[in-house]
A = this chain, B = another copy of it.
Amino acid sequence: MTSIPAEFSLIYQHFRPLAGHGALDLGDDAAVFAPPPGRELVVAADAMVAGVHFLPDDPADLIARKLLRSNLSDLAAMGATPLGYLLTVSVRHDTPDAWFAGFAAGLAADQAEFGLTLLGGDTTSTPGPASLSLTILGTVAPGSALRRTGARPGDGVWVTGTIGDGALGLLAATGRLSDPDGFLARRYRLPEPRVALGQRLAGIAAAAMDVSDGLVQDLGHLCRGGGLAAEIEAARVPLSAAARAAVAAEPALLARCLSGGDDYELLLAVPDARAEALCVAAASCGVQVTRIGAFTTGAPTVSVRGPDGAPMALAAGGWSHFA
């Protein structure tokens, strides 16, 4: 009765080294910490399931990093500075130790890159697919959080980075699309949350969110949030060289780039008077930003003008888990 159950050995061995101040070495019922004085707290949670959000055979370190990064992308969209996270991991009881080691190594790499620590969590078994959940905590100066509401008619619609790599990357990772140098598959497995840029957007972006369920669907959220319409031009949507090559070979893939998920880029409403400030902030972070259209008065609708100048009909509005 003095032995430590395997569950706790796992936690001690792999997760305790990730624990930050306040986590009490993951040895208590909860973490305790003093919130940074003079800051508001920002909290978000995302779940990922094997076979739904990642491929069951994806390397464990990349699964962990995608989970953490999808949450970091939510902080970026609020303009928040990362503080810490809690993690629940439900995996099969015979999951090898090496999987946990890889998973923890991925977290360690991104903790160092993005400046946050593990605060707590839970590790349980499941007879089903691996099911992961992460709650992230960050901070903002009071009143400065970026919101989905706030876009005004005339504001430009801007995106960071390139769009569609995640959706095409899923095709590539599952052998349905050529991906000679693995760029697209890597973008699917390892998104680049725009955390540094997000923290510089207070006073620049009128509204912000991250693109995780597809550009057009997510832009619809900004439209509903501001009570206005948006019109974008497909030809202006920034595509990576790999995505451009894929679309050149199969033009129907353009629609997938615009409506697929897993981009984890920022989608912004920016008044034209602040466009230069946006470009300066983005350049200082090494992030590309592109104006792809504008918000207009009207019922919340997203119109997409195709490469031929005609309205483009998209088969699906984006990713949804429930029919």
Contacts and interface: CB of A to CB of B under 8 A. Distances in A.
A125 B320 CA distance: 9
A224 to B, nearest CB: 8
A51 interface: yes
Contacts of A299: 2
A221 to B, nearest CB: 8
Given A24-B147, A52-B124, A131-B49, A301 B2 contact: yes
29 contacts: A1-B216, A1-B217, A1-B314, A2-B300, A2-B301, A4-B224, A5-B319, A27-B148, A27-B225, A29-B44, A29-B75, A29-B148, A30-B43, A30-B74, A30-B75, A30-B80, A30-B145, A32-B145, A33-B43, A43-B86, A44-B86, A44-B120, A45-B86, A46-B122, A47-B131, A47-B133, A90-B131, A125-B322, A126-B128
Contacts of A319: 5
Interface stretch (A34-42, A166-174, A183-191, A273-281): A34-42
Interface string A136-176: 11101010010110000000000000000000000000000
Contact of A30 (B47, B53, B77, B302): B77
B5 A317 contact: yes
A111 interface: no
Given A5-B319, A43-B137, A45-B87, 20 more contacts: A1-B216, A1-B301, A1-B317, A2-B300, A8-B320, A28-B148, A32-B78, A33-B41, A34-B41, A34-B142, A35-B41, A43-B119, A45-B122, A49-B131, A88-B133, A90-B131, A126-B131, A127-B128, A133-B133, A135-B135
Interface in A191-228: 209-210, 213, 216-217, 220-221, 224-225
Contacts of A221: 27
A216 B50 CA distance: 35
A242 interface: no
Given A30-B78, A93-B321, A323-B6, A120 B45 contact: yes
Interface string A46-67: 1111011100000000000000
A131 to B, nearest CB: 4
Interface of A: 1-8, 10, 24, 27-35, 40-49, 51-53, 74-75, 77-78, 80, 86-90, 93-95, 119-129, 131, 133, 135-138, 140, 142, 145, 147-148, 209-210, 213, 216-217, 220-221, 224-225, 299-302, 314, 317-323
Contacts of A49: 90, 124-128, 131
Contacts of A124: 47-49, 52-53, 321
Contacts of A317: 1, 3, 5
Given A125-B52, A135-B86, A301-B1, A209 B29 contact: yes
